[in-house]
Amino acid sequence: MARPVIAIVGRPNVGKSTIFNRVIGDRLAIVEDKPGVTRDRIYGTGEWNGRAFSIVDTGGIEIDGEDEIMKSVRMQAELAVEEADVIIFMVDAKAGMTHADDEVAQMLFRSRKPIVVAVNKVDNFNRMDDVYEFYGLGFGTPVAISGSHGTGIGDLLDAAVEKLPEQVDEEYDEDVIRVALIGRPNVGKSSLVNAILGEERVIVSDVAGTTRDAIDTPFEKDGQRYVLIDTAGMRKRGKVYETTEKYSVMRSLKAIERADVVLILINGEEGIIEQDKHIAGYAHEAGKASIFVVNKWDAVERDEKTMSHFTQDVRDHFLFMHYAPIAFLSAKTKQRLHKLLPIVNHVSEQHALRIQTHVLNDVISDAVAINPPPTDKGKRLRINYATQVATKPPTIVIFVNDPEIMHFSYERYLENKIRAAFNFEGTPVRLFTRRKSDSD
């Protein structure tokens, strides 16, 4: 089930990044008192009153400026607005209502999305009178907040969450493998869907951004049922957006959340770029089974070493996803296509694999015997036992005498030993350390 999306929009320097950071409880967005400093959309997840949601911090919308940075951040905000279920329109109490605010409001009216107006920088009661003029925007009662002091955030989230759509459970059986295809535009996602299906079910074009919405396509192969979730392209309004690879992440996020297995497509002709790493990182953070698919391999000039060199490039660029297998294929010619679904089946099984507690503890005991935990300030870590508490992804809790002296390098060592014993190919493994209590 995909989380609903809340987007924070507004002109530059009204405090969007500060509010975003308070909602997600982390400082992911750059905060600086300078217009236009948030140049890329930043994504996070939050929960309020039992409702989980994704939240996006956009670059500010500058209506009049036509320099490249402002065109870019306006484009990002427009695309975020298209993908959002609820929009927080942020304004500045100190600056008052500006012409730019009014222009942004007109854009938001056209979106026909639920809007909550957040009046930021209401740092004391003397500024409450400054809130009333924002009734003139026409979006109902504004919410007074202070990003610097953290006041009013609960009221803002109450108003935003109240407007979120009701979540509907998907009607796919447990044995159906949901496969999302993600990647920047024009890497061949729709072509790969067509190649797998063996028929023209979705639009295929050389122009980046021709698939308007994520398309679910159920099919069956060798007795296994699948749903392909194609996320190609971005919606276009009025004009074709340049450098659309910068703006493809929100749709990928939605598809990732709904998937069991994620196919991360890379253009074999162009090689790996920074955006590929950003998109892959979301699949990793979401704990999904993943496969790197190097497409357009038919168009690559190669010799007997080309594939091994490209494999090494993938491993070097995606160090955090060492577990993900790599498939080289061509959607156009169907070269090596027959190998893809067996890999999907395999990583899906690994993603759902559950290890018996006694077997897991035998592996942990052997690992400790070979390489005992180091001491920290004269205190040695003692591992009592481990147990797997979840699948999809496999999640293991290790009970110890003192979690604070579990060094990340030793945790990585244990993960490597677990992988050596149980494989877990294609899936992240999450390890958590907890103090053993009397009840445990």
Angle at 352 between CA 386 and CA 403, to 5 degrees: 25
Q: Determine which helix (DSSP H) or strand (DSSP E) holds 291, and give its type and residue range.
A: strand 289-295
Residues in Cβ contact with 271 at an 8 Å cutoff, skipping those fewer than 6 apart: 310, 313
Write out the E strands in 142-239.
143-144, 177-182, 215-221, 224-230
Name 196's Cβ contacts closer than 8 Å, sequence gap at least 6: 219, 228, 337, 340, 341
Q: Cα(317)–Cα(278) distance, rounded to whole angstroms?
A: 11
Structure tokens at 370: 């070979």
Residues forming the annotated binding site for GTP? 10-17, 57-61, 120-123, 183-190, 230-234, 295-298
Summarize the annotated binding site as residue ranges.
10-17, 57-61, 120-123, 183-190, 230-234, 295-298
Structure tokens at 293: 């698919």
Query: CA separation (Å) from 77 to 40, 90, 111, 171, 254?
Result: 9, 12, 12, 32, 17
The neighbour count for residue 108, using CB atoms within 10 Å, is 22
